[in-house]
């Protein structure tokens, strides 16, 4: 049975999470968060941010467990983590928010895109803020931002999970 992988990055909510909502329409899902050591070595990373992420993951995991699923916590470089998950059980799609981060996250996302192409996985990224990628000039930003802000909020109606929940990482 195939499933979609939902990669939680900075947005650890479930109520109006576009990637989670869209993935759940296509069938069973598996939710992951990846602790990336290299990310936490960046100059803009702080212990307070990590603690906030940890607390948010606990809340998210508790909610997903109440629905019969969980969030799997992985550790390492993202492409390596995806390869391990893929070897264990290949997935049909990767769903996440677009990340507005630093040079590390940009380079990481380029590697993830390349990994997806090699493995024939479609990566569905969803804008999260008013940042618009790929504009030819700044004059086009205003109308794109207005369209994004006027779009309906993605609600998660129901979730079907792939496999059994793992042991709690918390």
Residue-wise pLDDT tens digits, 115-148: 999 999 999 998 875 555 565 666 666 666 566 5
- Supply the pTM of this predicted model: 0.86
One-character DSSP codes across 86-143: HHHS--SEEEEE-----HHHHHHHHHHHHHHHHHTPEEEEE--SS--TT-SSGGGHHH
Task: Tell me what pLDDT residue 138 has.
Answer: 65
Residue 139 lies in a domain: yes
Interval 26-67: pLDDT, tens = 899 999 999 999 999 999 999 999 999 999 999 999 999 999
Task: Give the residue numbers spanning the domain of 12.
Answer: 4-150
Q: How many structural domains are present in the chain?
A: 1
Cα–Cα distance, 69 to 91 (Å, whole number): 17
Residue 164 within any structural domain of the chain:
no
Greater pLDDT, 126 or 152: 126
Quick check: is 155 in a domain? no
Residue 106 lies in a domain: yes
Which domain CATH number covers 11?
Answer: 3.40.50.620
């Amino acid at each position: 049975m195939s499933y979609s992988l939902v990669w939680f990055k900075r947005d650890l909510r479930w109520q109006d999470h576009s990637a989670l909502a869209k993935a759940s329409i296509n069938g069973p899902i598996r939710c992951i968060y990846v602790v990336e050591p290299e990310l936490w070595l960046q100059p803009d990373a702080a212990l307070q941010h990590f603690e906030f992420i940890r607390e948010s993951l606990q809340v998210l995991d508790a909610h997903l467990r109440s629905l019969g699923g969980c969030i799997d916590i992985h550790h390492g470089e993202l492409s390596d983590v995806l390869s391990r998950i893929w070897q264990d059980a290949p997935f049909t799609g990767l769903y996440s928010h677009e990340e507005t981060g630093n040079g590390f996250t940009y380079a990481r996302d380029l590697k993830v895109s390349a990994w997806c192409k090699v493995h024939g996985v479609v990566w569905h990224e969803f804008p999260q803020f008013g940042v618009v990628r790929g504009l030819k000039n700044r004059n086009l930003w205003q109308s794109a931002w207005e369209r994004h802000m006027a779009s309906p909020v993605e609600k998660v109606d129901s979730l079907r999970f792939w496999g059994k929940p793992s042991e709690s990482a918390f």
